[in-house]
């Protein structure tokens, strides 16, 4: 293990694209699921992992939130990647288009405008690119990176209907305590006003919350844990105040946003 990063695969996925943005000399290892990425870090197979946390249209990535809740790992860096999709193929002429159901959804206007009527859903946009690379009658809706990996010609760029950004996290076993933002996960007592009292502690300390998501506790139906991101570093005084009004509290790391001149890849 020489400073390796595992990511949510396959090769050519948007997680792969995010990993290459920060990678330097590190070894990149694709994994089949988000949970596999977390397990690889826990088991010390990998040093760090790259997983999606939230999409600007679809919302949170539940598998990432649940792994952050159940595992003692930390967020070290945030990377925003615009989800730009391309239409790509071996030939100019094709009669089938492969893509992932989400990508098909996101290009619905384009598909109607271009009268692409035979659109086949497959398990990933990378798989779509792979299929188009071996079928001369097929095209793929995929990332520019996947099109390049499978030697496809790009026929059209930015074919998605809306601005669509995914945030990724670089995670590891190392707790980082400084950055523009920090993440916490907590549960609250089953009493009236419990979440209100927790948010009151942030307000007292003049700390801005940038996001709050709730997720079910799998052990008890209709009970929840909360994931929040706030502006600023790890703050011991805030944590001490929050301990008074929560039933469990985990600090999940402070981190800044990775800046890249060519974020469009």
CA distance 241 to 198: 9
Residue 256 interacts with a second copy (CB under 8 A)?
no
Residue 199 interacts with a second copy (CB under 8 A)?
yes
CA distance 189 to 127: 45
**Hunting for tokens 């419990």 — which residue is that?**
194
Residue 216 interacts with a second copy (CB under 8 A)?
yes
Residue 63, exposed/middle/buried by CB under 10 A (0-12, 13-18, 19+)? middle
Residue 59 interacts with a second copy (CB under 8 A)?
yes
Query: Out of 36, 45, 58, 175, which residue is the one contacting a second copy (CB under 8 A)?
Result: 58
Residue 260 interacts with a second copy (CB under 8 A)?
no
Please give the torsion angle defined by the CA atoms of residues 35, 36, 41 and 45, in that order, rounded to the nearest 10 degrees. 170
List all residues 6 or more positions away from 154 whose beta carbon is below 8 Å from its beta carbon: 86, 87, 88, 144, 147
Q: Is the backbone peptide bond immediately before 10 cis, with ω within 30 degrees of 0?
A: yes
The minimum distance between CB 153 and a second copy, in angstroms, equals: 31
Binding mask 87-116 for a second copy (x = CB under 8 A): ------------------------------
Q: Is residue 161 a contact partner of residue 234, using CB atoms and an 8 Å limit? A: no
The minimum distance between CB 46 and a second copy, in angstroms, equals: 24
The minimum distance between CB 212 and a second copy, in angstroms, equals: 6
Instruction: Indicate the residue among 31 and 90 with the shorter CB distance to a second copy.
Output: 31
Residue 57 interacts with a second copy (CB under 8 A)?
yes
User: Contact residues for a second copy (CB under 8 A)?
Assistant: 54-59, 62, 162-163, 165, 192-193, 195-196, 199-200, 202-203, 206, 208-216, 218, 221-222, 224
């Amino acid at each position: 293990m020489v400073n390796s990063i595992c990511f949510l695969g396959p090769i050519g996925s948007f997680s792969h694209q995010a990993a290459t943005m920060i990678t330097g000399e590190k070894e990149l290892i694709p994994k089949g699921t988000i949970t596999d990425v977390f397990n690889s870090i826990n088991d010390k197979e990998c040093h760090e992992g790259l997983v999606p946390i939230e999409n600007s249209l679809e919302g949170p990535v539940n598998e990432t939130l649940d792994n952050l809740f159940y595992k003692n790992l930390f967020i070290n860096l945030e990377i925003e990647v615009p989800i730009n999709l391309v239409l790509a193929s071996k030939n100019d002429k094709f009669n089938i288009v492969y893509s992932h159901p989400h990508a098909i959804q996101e290009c619905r206007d384009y598909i109607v405008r271009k009268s692409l009527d035979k659109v086949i859903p497959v398990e990933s946009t990378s798989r779509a690119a792979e299929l188009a690379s071996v079928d001369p009658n097929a095209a793929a809706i995929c990332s520019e990176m996947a099109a390049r990996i499978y030697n496809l010609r790009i026929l059209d760029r930015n074919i998605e209907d809306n601005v669509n950004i995914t945030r990724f996290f670089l995670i590891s076993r190392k707790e980082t305590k400084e950055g523009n933002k920090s993440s916490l996960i907590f549960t609250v007592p089953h009493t009236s006003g419990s979440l209100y009292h927790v948010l009151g502690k942030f307000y007292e300390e003049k700390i801005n919350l940038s996001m709050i998501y709730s997720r079910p506790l799998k052990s008890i139906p209709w009970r929840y844990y909360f994931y929040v991101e706030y502006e600023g570093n790890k703050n011991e005084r805030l944590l001490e105040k929050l301990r008074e009004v929560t039933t469990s509290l985990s600090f999940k790391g402070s981190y800044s946003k990775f800046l890249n001149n060519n974020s469009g890849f």
